[in-house]
Structure 1
Amino acid sequence: MTRIATLAILFCVLLCQSVFAQLPPIFDKSRAQSAQSEATVRRFLSPVKILWKTGSIANAERLLTPGNGQADLSGKDMCSLKNNASGKASVLLDFGKELHGGLQVVTGQWNVSKPITVRIRFGESASEAMADIEPKQNATNDHAIRDMTVQLPWLGKLEVGNTGYRFVRIDLVDGDTELLLKEVRAIFTFRDIPYLGSFRSSDELLNKIWATGAYTVHLNMQDYLWDGIKRDRLVWVGDMHPEVSTINAVFGYNDVVPKSLDLARDITPLPGWMNGISTYSMWWILIQRDWYQHNGNLPYLKEQKNYLVKLLNLLTEKIDDKNSEKLDGTRFLDWPSSENAKGIHAGLQSMMVLSLSAGADLCRILNDPATAKKCDEAVARLKKYVPDANESKQGAALLALSGLVPAEKANKDVLAVQGAHNFSTFYGYYMLQAKAKAGDYKGALTNIREFWGGMLNLGATTFWEDFNLDWTTNAGRIDELVPEGKKDIHGDCGAYCYIGFRHSLAHGWASGPTPWLTEHVLGIKVMEPGCKAIKIEPHLEDLTFAEGSFPTPYGLVKVKHTKLANGKIQSEVSGPKEVRIIR
């Protein structure tokens, strides 16, 4: 046997050993070859507060003590829930922060060795965990079961649930019964990845907003990149765009992005639109451009060429003889703008310009000058027709970003009117980007503080599917039971598909301030594919300092900006030698 053949066999043996290193010898390896390793890990968290209780309950504080997940015979220091003639026992637990996962319940030893029935309700707000599934406030079990009746074992352990929540209510169902609980712990399921990007400034509210946006997206980085961990646990491609912008600014490369982009491509044969929405196929193009710009992965981009070129050709056919878009499928920007047909038309015209321009750039990289030329010609035609935004901030933002309307005009006439009123969680990112393009950084920071800060003021630890400043009048916090005379901002508000408790309070599309603050306050903007060149141009406005980091394929770029007494900004910048810093 030759030396090369021997080395080849040794390599194969080592490869097999690495694949099966964590499997027991008896495991069926033919099944394991097609199995995928889990991207997520599990951690266990004890509740931080007993928010409410009723009935006969003793030693409830025991549940706040960190546990080990193991039932034992000691019988010491148990929490007791009793149902008797005077009523039934229930307890509401607060785990302190929104999380994704389920619940682990460890039980004690009661008199008769038989299961005991309980009802478990998960809630993103305290009031949702207290709600029944009924039409009045629209509590549901859509996408993920959050209200269930289960049996707890005697002297054992049960794990249930797979949803997004912060609060859990446990009701003892069986009559004339005592339930002994040793532990009730959250099973926190997440990707164990480092926060490489960072942001810190002289404004603690902005710091918290940046971190909350990052955490919201982190929770949605599950098997695929979801938009909501309680509801809409699906790959919505348009919703991915602000999420991917956040991932680029905070985590850098993560395989959840290409995996999700490929899924959307593979389940959407042309001429169909991704998720049935024309703009979502256009957002796919824009994400591909942004992903390549950050990571510079040409082999991955080449894998998209066949689908990309066909999609671009399809889009060029959706222009009429007046140079107006004539897109079919669902005509949609976001929910708050969905009744403004003229505003949607303005947004679609702009999206055509943005996506075909990005497609032309990608085709030049992919050495397809013919398709690039076709895209450029289509953009030139589209720019001859400029629709009216019809006072839609969504439409105005896209008109500004596409260059169809000067950003300064779009900001003055529409975006700056009534501050953050008529902002939305999804398109708020593009409203902020348009304001930055107009040079209105001060106004954008004010909008961020008012709109996203408004959610934090109501107890949010993640950003919501939607938010309307009008909802806040006389509203209670989500981390408290709603006081008498106050409005339940979760159960009483919402619209369209997210009325009442169906409203998701951890939605990744709401994370726009995170990448915006990195790009415009820290001033970090990628100028060449793969972060080969990065421009530093900070805008501190009323801040006295801002500092942070930004992940590149070669390591971290770090900046620190300090405003001097004369108003000038002093900057300290460092980064990998492979990254050219432009100042």
Structure 2
Amino acid sequence: MLNSRLNRIAFVVALALGGQVRAQQAAKATWIWYPGDYEIWLSNQMQNRRTERGSFFPPFWRLDSHYPLIDFHQDFDLKQAEEVELRAEGQYNVKLDGKLITGYPTRLTVPAGKHRLNIKVYNQQHVPAVFVQGKTIETDGKWLVTYEDKEWIDASGKVSDQSGTTWLTAGSWNFDEAQALPSAFKLKTEPRRAAKVTRNADGSLLVDFGRETFGYVRLHGLQGQGPTTLYFGESKEEALSVEGCETLERLEVNQPQKADKLTTLTKAFRFVNIRPEKGVTVDSVSMLYEYAPLTERGRFRCSDEQLNKIWDVAAYTMQLTSREFFIDGIKRDRWVWSGDAYQSYLMNYYLYFDTPTVNRTTFALRGKDPVTSHVNTIMDYTFYWFIGIYDAYQYTGDKTVVQQLYPRMQSLMDYCLSRRNQDGYMEGLAGDWVFIDWAEGLSKKGEVSFEQLLLCRSLESMALCANVVGDQAGARKYQQLAADLKAKIFATYWNPAKGALVHSRVNGHPTDNVTRYANMFAIFFDYLSQEQEQQVKKSVLLNPQVAKITTPYMRFYELEALCALGEQPYVLKEMKNYWGGMLSEGATAFWEEYDPAKKGTENLSMYGRPFGKSLCHAWGASPIYLLGKYYLGVKPLSAGYATYEVVPTLGGLQWMEGSVPTPQGDIAVRATPKELKVKGASGTGTLRFKSKSKPSVKGAKIQAKGGGQYELQLQPGREYVVRYQAL
């Protein structure tokens, strides 16, 4: 009996109905599940693949699980009877208009008229999911789901006619065929050759794949009996350090005849030190590169070849760290960290515009109620989670995800507000990690202004999302909380004499310490007056006496703040020096941390370990975002690029061109000191630029705004060529 039930969990659907017309009509069908459940399940699978020198290394935070029993339903009004095919991952039953259908039906005829189809699925091991395909009936994002139907039956047998059930719209991804089981998902792989293989007299091999990569190592012609150990390294030094490398794998070989063998787990590496014991031989080595098949829609090229190389390496860094989710780095953690993910979202909007990965990552980070800690246990990472939803709606215009996430936003915000101190500020409590940045000597004591600023922005995100879902009372509540907190922040932390927000308040008194963090965020959050912006630029951002930032993570925000202030020529030099410095040190992907004062092997150590630093870290790819948003100058002004602006800024370049992806197509931009070309696929755009002389364009009207500034309205599908003279 047990085996027969298990067999039904992944039952095979009967042959699909024939005919090209029918296949086209049913093309919208996809596997669906309770929103967030598949994402949580998949992240558990991925994050628990981490090992450290062969030992299992799980995440630091609580892991949630999917709901094992889910009810799916949809209402239909059919003009004629319709046959549908059904598939489920799990044990299931089917009801039509409340009447239970016998057995495990794989086909069902729904009569003409109004009907409700219910499918209830149980699966403890995998996520309960269903796939329904008919001529007009198909599983999609309109289906409703719940993990508790709250029904009951009275003594007469009557089913309750009211219930407190909360129904959400179903979650889905791209499993658009009945045979494409969500539980069987794997990333794609393709074979890659080694760039160089060095054989040593002791039988060991040092393999160089030419650049940072990720996947399985394949040993060809493996023969003999005994252990073989593979030591992986992002650098040659790490691979050769059998005692200090971060990752390794031991294989037990028992091959009397030559055969090929793959490593059991994916790893990050450029170099692999393969050391077979005596009696074991290897003919050659290759790899299977593992990747997420994302399309690079964003593009950037310019007159500076070093900057082009920086763009290319940043894009490759994103390719490596964009996997089932946006992860931090491919060697060490391979976890979903909210601070890292938030930056990946922004870079993604200018490279891939892959919203499913954003959504999966957002759901996975949030997990389930009840809330017992901050996201990743880090206070600021919780706030990035809220702000990421704020940004996602602006870039994508996707209301469905906001509706699905809003209840979890509310409960997480309730948790944050409950942890304010008696003065209404966020202060690290037991179990809270106040991170901010990897910076030596950075104080986390007291009420840090940076955390208050992020909470304020999070409350604004809550207000925006409340409006999207129609919670007007919630919108007023969160907007008032944000306004009150913003006023309190500037009353407490703004120091007129220093022309900056001070770093913290300790024992009820603001400190004199000024750091870059809160000040640069206040600029691109648009929290400062023009006078304050200029004070901060001079007293903080361009002041060498204020402690420098040495992580690409916070360089991202520092340079964004400067771009927002119109300092693109300065930022261009900084990008070339900082990211160009990593390239000069041999980087083939961008790093977790980079201090230009360090040279050679000094750049490999971190966390007290000789090779602890990640040499491929998502937050290192920020030039993609900076060049797309502040040089090509493209950003949405309203949700989903319904309206947008293009403000091309050469920043010292002789020319640049590129494209920025949007939900409905790309926006192409080319700029020289004398000509601008812009074309948007959809939405209404505004081109803003400065010119020494009166500009011209055929078939459109340019508006003069004073002070050498001009605007041109952009209609979808038309290319505009503007003649001008750059200031």
- Can you give the 5+ residue segments of structure 1 that lack an aligned partner in the other structure? 20-30, 56-87, 476-487, 565-569
2:541 is aligned to 415
1:444 is aligned to 571
**Residues 1:337 and 1:556: Cα distance change in structure 2 (over 3 Å):** farther
3-state SS of the aligned residue for 1:563? coil
Whichever residue aligns with residue 44 of structure 1, its letter is: P
**Residues 1:116 and 1:106: Cα distance change in structure 2 (over 3 Å):** farther
1:34-53 → structure 2 map (5 Å cutoff): 35-38=182-185, 40-50=187-197, 52-53=198-199
3-state SS of the aligned residue for 2:597? helix
3-state SS of the aligned residue for 1:36? helix
- Cα deviations across residues 538-561 of structure 1 (Å, max 9, x unaligned)? 111110111111111111111111
3-state SS of the aligned residue for 1:341? coil
2:305 is aligned to 204
- Cα deviations across residues 75-117 of structure 1 (Å, max 9, x unaligned)? xxxxxxxxxxxxx122212111211111011106x7xxx4354
Q: Is the 8 A contact 1:295 1:530 kept in 2?
A: yes
The 2-side partners of 1:440 and 1:36 are apart by 49
1:168 is aligned to 272
Q: Is the 8 A contact 2:207 2:272 kept in 1?
A: yes
- Aligned CA-pair RMSD: 3.0
- Cα deviations across residues 454-504 of structure 1 (Å, max 9, x unaligned)? 1111111111111112213xx2xxxxxxxxxxxx1344x32xx37421211
The 2-side partners of 1:346 and 1:130 are apart by 45
Instruction: Work out whether 1:557 is the aligned partner of 2:667.
Output: yes
The 2-side partners of 1:531 and 1:420 are apart by 38
The 2-side partners of 1:322 and 1:444 are apart by 38
3-state SS of the aligned residue for 1:502? coil
1:212-291 → structure 2 map (5 Å cutoff): 212-267=313-368, 269-291=370-392
- Can you give the 5+ residue segments of structure 2 that lack an aligned partner in the other structure? 1-77, 88-105, 109-130, 139-177, 494-501, 504-512, 689-727
2:246 is aligned to 140
Larger radius of gyration: 2
2:294 is aligned to 193
Residue 342 of structure 1 and its aligned partner are, at CA, apart by 6.3
Residue 310 of structure 1 and its aligned partner are, at CA, apart by 2.8
1:400 is aligned to 523
Residue 362 of structure 1 and its aligned partner are, at CA, apart by 2.1
Residue 392 of structure 1 and its aligned partner are, at CA, apart by 2.4
- Cα deviations across residues 105-152 of structure 1 (Å, max 9, x unaligned)? 1106x7xxx435422111111111111234xxxx334xxxx3434427
1:475-514 → structure 2 map (5 Å cutoff): 475=600, 488-491=601-604, 493-494=605-606, 497=607, 499-514=609-624
The 2-side partners of 1:563 and 1:298 are apart by 40
Whichever residue aligns with residue 313 of structure 2, its letter is: T
The 2-side partners of 1:37 and 1:557 are apart by 36
- Cα deviations across residues 177-236 of structure 1 (Å, max 9, x unaligned)? 47240x311210001221110111111222222222222122122222211111111111
The 2-side partners of 1:352 and 1:574 are apart by 38
Q: Is the 8 A contact 1:253 1:295 kept in 2?
A: no
1:522 is aligned to 632
The 1-side partners of 2:654 and 2:333 are apart by 40
**Residues 1:271 and 1:179: Cα distance change in structure 2 (over 3 Å):** closer
**Residues 1:417 and 1:355: Cα distance change in structure 2 (over 3 Å):** same
1:428 is aligned to 555
Residue 9 of structure 1 and its aligned partner are, at CA, apart by 5.7
Match of 2:239 among 124, 129, 137: 129
**Residues 1:456 and 1:150: Cα distance change in structure 2 (over 3 Å):** farther
2:152 is aligned to none
The 2-side partners of 1:447 and 1:125 are apart by 26
Match of 2:221 among 107, 112, 116: 107
Whichever residue aligns with residue 567 of structure 2, its letter is: D
Q: Is the 8 A contact 2:227 2:250 kept in 1?
A: no
1:456-475 → structure 2 map (5 Å cutoff): 456-472=583-599, 475=600
Whichever residue aligns with residue 207 of structure 2, its letter is: L
The 1-side partners of 2:414 and 2:634 are apart by 34
Q: Is the 8 A contact 2:193 2:287 kept in 1?
A: yes
**Residues 1:91 and 1:380: Cα distance change in structure 2 (over 3 Å):** same
Which of 1 and 2 has higher RCO (CA within 8 Å, sep 6+)? 1
Whichever residue aligns with residue 422 of structure 1, its letter is: I
Whichever residue aligns with residue 132 of structure 1, its letter is: V
2:53 is aligned to none
- Cα deviations across residues 262-307 of structure 1 (Å, max 9, x unaligned)? 1121246325211111211111111111111111111111001111
Q: Is the 8 A contact 2:219 2:282 kept in 1?
A: no
The 2-side partners of 1:204 and 1:220 are apart by 24
Match of 1:54 among 173, 197, 200: 200
1:305 is aligned to 406
**Residues 1:301 and 1:581: Cα distance change in structure 2 (over 3 Å):** same
The 2-side partners of 1:463 and 1:258 are apart by 25
Q: Is the 8 A contact 1:199 1:549 kept in 2?
A: yes
**Residues 1:310 and 1:340: Cα distance change in structure 2 (over 3 Å):** same
Whichever residue aligns with residue 518 of structure 1, its letter is: G
1:67 is aligned to none
1:573 is aligned to 678
The 1-side partners of 2:254 and 2:535 are apart by 63
The 2-side partners of 1:269 and 1:353 are apart by 23
**Residues 1:230 and 1:547: Cα distance change in structure 2 (over 3 Å):** same
Residue 434 of structure 1 and its aligned partner are, at CA, apart by 1.1
**Residues 1:228 and 1:102: Cα distance change in structure 2 (over 3 Å):** same
**Residues 1:268 and 1:395: Cα distance change in structure 2 (over 3 Å):** farther
Q: Is the 8 A contact 2:253 2:280 kept in 1?
A: no
**Residues 1:516 and 1:376: Cα distance change in structure 2 (over 3 Å):** same
3-state SS of the aligned residue for 1:306? helix
2:81 is aligned to 5
Whichever residue aligns with residue 195 of structure 2, its letter is: V
3-state SS of the aligned residue for 1:339? coil
TM-score by length of structure 1 reads 0.79
The 1-side partners of 2:630 and 2:212 are apart by 28
3-state SS of the aligned residue for 1:380? helix
The 2-side partners of 1:409 and 1:53 are apart by 60
Q: Which has the higher helix share?
A: 1
**Residues 1:308 and 1:563: Cα distance change in structure 2 (over 3 Å):** same
The 2-side partners of 1:459 and 1:263 are apart by 34
Q: Which has the higher strand share?
A: 2
